[in-house]
Every structure is written in C-alpha cells, then in structure tokens.
Structure 1
Amino acid sequence: MEVKEQVKDLRLAQGEETRTALLAAARELFGANGYPATSLDEIAARAGVTKGAFYHHFRGKTDVFQAVYEQVQREISDQVVTVFMDPDHWYSLTQGCQLMIDAQLDPAVRRIALHDARSVLGWDTVRGIEMRYGAVGIRGALRKAMRGGVIEPQPLRPLALLLAGAIAEACFYVADAEDPAAARQEVGDLIVRLLEGLRTHPAD
C-alpha cells in the first residue's frame, strides 16, 4: 500500500508540474504574441509536453487562456492586498487603487488582461473574474476606511463594485491612449478625486 501511495503522489506531483509548465508557456506566448497568434502546438512545445498532455489538463486554448487570465488577476490582487493592509486607511485605499491600475499596464499583462480577455472569454466571464479578485480587495479596504472614520458610511457592496468598475475602465483608457503617460496621470488624479468625495475630512 505504501508503494502504491508513493506512486500516486509522484503522479500527482508530475501532473501538477506539467500543468504549471503549460500555464507558464501559455502566459509567455499570450503575453508576447496575443491570443489569436498563439497555437496549442506552440504552447505544448514551449512547455516540453505533448498535445495529449495538454488536453489532459485543459479543454482547449480558451480554457488555458482563462486559467492564465485568472492567474494574472490573482497575482495583481495579492500585490494590492499588501497595500490595502497598510495601517494608514487613506493611504492604503488611494495607493491600492493606483496600484490596481499600474499592475495591469505591464505590456504582457496589458495584452492578456486588456486586449484579449473580453473578446476571448466574453464580458460575463471577465467581469466575474475581475469582481472576484478586484472588488473583494476594494471592499475590504473600503470597510476598513469606513470603520476608521476616514470615509463616510456608504452601502459597501455597490460602492466596491462601482469603484472596481471605474478602475477597470481606467485601465482600458490608459491602454488605448495615444499618450499613455498623460492618460495615466489623468485617471490617477480622477480616482483620488472620486475617493476625496467620500472622505470624512477631505484634505485642504
């Protein structure tokens, strides 16, 4: 029994390694070339596995793209949560929102999250993933700021959804702008102004 369990554990570990390699390969190719220009053959070859091994872990190209997109959003969320945990409620809220924009403007992330995701996965799927990873962190930061007396009490869930939506659209605006640096400055200032409108004691 012990040998069988060891063999089972080894197979599980190998399977997880294969999936991780496929995700890394797909992310690299999607980020560099975009979804339409990336083939399953390229993903499998980059990962060093067969197409059969690919289909053991993913149903197809759309499936692996969704897994990559979720991985990207989860990583952004992890970065932002660190800022949201800062004891300075106003700093954590404003800087966390700014980081949510900046994190999606990396060229590879931008191609995956802003250029391809909606057309490949559809609006409902993208919105669900964005809300799961983005709005949850924002909701926590808003709750903390309300409890700390930094912003006026508001209905929490709709406020978090509205703010997450504004940040998502800000990312698209910057990504599509002819002058991304100027556009980034514009949306950054506007996000702070929006939050200032909620603040209990706005800065002079």
Structure 2
Amino acid sequence: MTETGLSAAASRYDRKRDQIIAAATELINELGYKGMTLTKVAQAIELNTTSITYYFKRKELLAEAILEAAIERYNRIVDQAELEPTPFDKLHRMVWATLEQFAQIRSGDAPPVANLSHIRSLNEPLRTRLSDQYIVMFRRVRRFFEEDDGSRKHLATAQTHVLLENLFWAQAWLRRYSLGDFERVAHRFSEVLAYGVSGAGRDWDPALLALEEPETVKGLGDMNIAFLKAAAITINDWGYRGASVDRIAAELSVTKGSFYHHLQSKDDLVLACFDLSYARVSLAQRAAERIEGDHHRKLCASVASLLELQFYGDSPLLRTTALYALPPDVRAGVIERSNRMARRYAGVLIDGITESSIKAIDPLIAAQMIMATLNTAYEMRRWAEVQAPEQAIKTYASIITRGLIPNR
C-alpha cells in the first residue's frame, strides 16, 4: 500500500475509533459504567459487536479511552487558564472554557465528555492509572491558588477541589439555560466562585443545630439503618459498581443473604440512600430557618451542620455520582428533589440579599454551587481528619462565604 493509502486507512481508523468513543461516552453518562456495554455501543452506531472489539477488545479498555479523552480535554482548558495573568483571570478562563465546551457539546459541534466520577467504577490497575492522571491535572490547577506559599497548600487543596467539582457538576444545571445565556452565566458563576456570597463585613458565623431524626429512617430496623450507612460510605468510596453487595455486607460483618433479607436489590438501596441524604439536607435547612439572626447566619448554620456530617458523620450524604445507578425515570425524580433543595438555598440567598447580609449575586447559580460544594465535601474526609473539626469546617466553608480569591 502506498504512503497515501496508509494515511487514508489510518484516518478512517481514527474516525471510527472516535465515533465509538463518542457513542460510548453518551451511554456511560446516561447509564453508568454498568449500563454501557459493547453491544449497546455497537447498536448506537449501527455496527456489530465484533466490529467494536476490533478497536477495543474489552469494555474496560473502552472505558479507559473515554476517561483519558475527558482528562485530556480538561487539561487543554487548564492550558488556557495557565496563560492568564491573575488568579481571577485563571479562574474565569477555567469557567468560560468549560461552559464553552458544554455549549459545543449541546449544539453538536463537539463530542460528549465523560463524567470523571466513572473512574471509581473501574477495576485495578485502570482505576489507579486514571486517578494518577487526574491528580496531575489537579495539581496544575492547585498552583493557581498556592502562590508559592507552602503554608497555603492545605487551603489550596480544598479550593481546587471545590472549583473542579463545581465545573463538572455545572453541566447538570446548565440544562436550564439557553446557549445565549452562557456568557452571562459564566460571569455570575466566576463571581460567586471568586468572591463568595457573604455581604460586606460578614464572616463565618455558624450556630449549632440539633437535627431531628429523618422520617425516612423512623420505623426501620437497626440492621436496615446500618445497611444504609454502610452503603452510602461504600458507594461514595467505590462507585456503584465497586460497591458490591459482598463489600457492603463485609463492612457490617454479615452475610450476603442478610442483605437480601432486608433489602430487595442494590438499586433499592441506592434510592433509599438518596432519600436519607435529601432528608438530612432538608432537616438542616429547616432547622437553620428557626434560629435567631439574619439569613447569612442561617446559611452558615445549615452549611456547618452538613459539613460536619460529611467530614465526620457515620451517615454522610450519598454522592450525586450514584445517580448513574438509577433507571432514567427514577433518576429524574431524584434530580428534581435535589433541585428543590437548591431552590430553598436560593430563597435564603434572596432574603439575605434583601437585607444586605448576602452580596448581590445570582442566587440560582450560587444555590447550585452550594449544593455541589456540600455534596462533594465527603471526598475531603482525609483532608479534614488531620485538622480540628471546627477549623476544617470553617476553612472549607470559607470557600462558600468568602470565595476562592477573597482578597478583593
């Protein structure tokens, strides 16, 4: 074959491979790793399964290609941000480039990008290999906040975590906005990330909340409650696929049969964990509404109680990444419940803006960011456990109240 012929063949190979990755990305984002099968990928692009295995011999290798492509696309966004002169410019470039990518995906001008939470679903050694690639990107972003000061590394780690998780989660709530609004959203998004929500002269001011027992666990036996607690932690750590029934049962030193005696399926367990999580968020919000003080203080109270649960509690909130385990119709209901929690925070922010305890921000965007920041706080448990609880909660919460670049 001539050189021209070889080049044309290689080009066809690359185009088909990219087509497979794009189709598989849509499936993994919609159905999770478990639901993304080679057969479904083949059906999506009208090929047979054997044709897919010519490019990817195993499902795990296709998942690796999907996630490596996603990490590379986010690395290109970091490349752009690194060229900016100031921390705010870097942050805003990250936000704008990410929203621009999501806009291109929605309009069909770019292929979909995988949610990086699927890394947890992979077996070793792929899980560690991809995690290491993500950590390299994470450290690049962390340098935006370290400013060559080693003493800030602890805070910079939390700041980077909040920034990246908010960017990843934005694709979910951006569906409520038209593409023509994305530029305005990027500016409002950047403002809240950079400078927080606290009004002039206001600082972290939490009250201690006594939270009631959620209605969703009243009447459940001790073993069912124990399964819910163990499942939330195991799924948060290992993803839905990694959190096998055997692993959850082992956490409680019971048999697999005991699990099925108390719960019909793992999907039922996931849904029950979400019910418990949102009940806890709602209880914290309602308890905060009843305390004395302005709405900034009420916000601080609910945030503090939920961060304590996420960092140190034995029944943390289930990560939204577990949504991929649920059937699409059930998932929609869970997402709507999350949006109700966000709208309640938006109401607190609106009342705070009226009384000037909260600065003039876009409350709908800020509320989604608060929910994302609280939900992802579980992943900072190791970060929090080496600090006094009060200090860890105050430091992490300062990203909500004062922002990533507070010295304005």
TM superposition score normalised by structure 1:
0.65
Residue number in structure 1 paired with 2:116 = 113
1:125 positional shift = 3.2
Given candidates 121, 125, 128, the residue that maps to 1:124 is: 128
Q: Is contact 2:20–2:45 with CA below 8 Å preserved after alignment?
A: yes
Q: Is contact 2:159–2:404 with CA below 8 Å preserved after alignment?
A: no
Superimposed CA distance per residue, residues 104-155 of structure 1 (whole angstroms, 9 cap, x where no aligned partner): 9x9x867x322x321225652342121233333443x35xxx7xxxx45338
Residue number in structure 1 paired with 2:369 = 184
Q: Is contact 1:23–1:64 with CA below 8 Å preserved after alignment?
A: yes
Structure 1 unmatched runs, 5+: none
Say whether residues 1:38 and 2:247 are aligned partners: no
Supply the distance in 1 between the matched residues of 2:3 and 2:155 (Cα, whole angstroms): 50
Aligned residues: 185
Supply the distance in 2 between the matched residues of 1:155 and 1:74 (Cα, whole angstroms): 30
Superimposed CA distance per residue, residues 58-112 of structure 1 (whole angstroms, 9 cap, x where no aligned partner): 131111112111212222232343234222x1213443566799889x9x867x3
Residue number in structure 1 paired with 2:76 = 78
1:20 positional shift = 0.9
1:26 positional shift = 0.5
Given candidates 153, 163, 166, the residue that maps to 2:149 is: 153
Q: CA 1:160 to 1:196, structure 2 compared with 1: closer, same or farther past 3 Å?
A: closer
Supply the distance in 1 between the matched residues of 2:20 and 2:8 (Cα, whole angstroms): 18
Q: Is contact 2:159–2:399 with CA below 8 Å preserved after alignment?
A: no
1:7 positional shift = 2.5
1:57 positional shift = 1.8
Residue number in structure 1 paired with 2:12 = 14
Q: CA 1:22 to 1:109, structure 2 compared with 1: closer, same or farther past 3 Å?
A: closer
Indicate the SS of the match to 1:48: coil
1:156 positional shift = 9.7
Say whether residues 1:92 and 2:96 are aligned partners: no
Residue number in structure 1 paired with 2:307 = none
1:40 positional shift = 0.6
Supply the distance in 1 between the matched residues of 2:139 and 2:96 (Cα, whole angstroms): 14
- Higher gyration radius (CA): 2
Supply the distance in 1 between the matched residues of 2:87 and 2:164 (Cα, whole angstroms): 21
Greater alpha carbon shift after TM alignment, 158-167 vs 57-66: 158-167
Supply the distance in 1 between the matched residues of 2:11 and 2:137 (Cα, whole angstroms): 27
Supply the distance in 1 between the matched residues of 2:8 and 2:98 (Cα, whole angstroms): 41
Q: CA 1:169 to 1:32, structure 2 compared with 1: closer, same or farther past 3 Å?
A: closer
Q: CA 1:6 to 1:158, structure 2 compared with 1: closer, same or farther past 3 Å?
A: farther
Residue number in structure 1 paired with 2:253 = none
Residue number in structure 2 paired with 1:135 = 139
Q: CA 1:66 to 1:30, structure 2 compared with 1: closer, same or farther past 3 Å?
A: same
Given candidates 28, 33, 43, the residue that maps to 2:26 is: 28
Identical positions, percent: 16
Q: CA 1:39 to 1:192, structure 2 compared with 1: closer, same or farther past 3 Å?
A: same
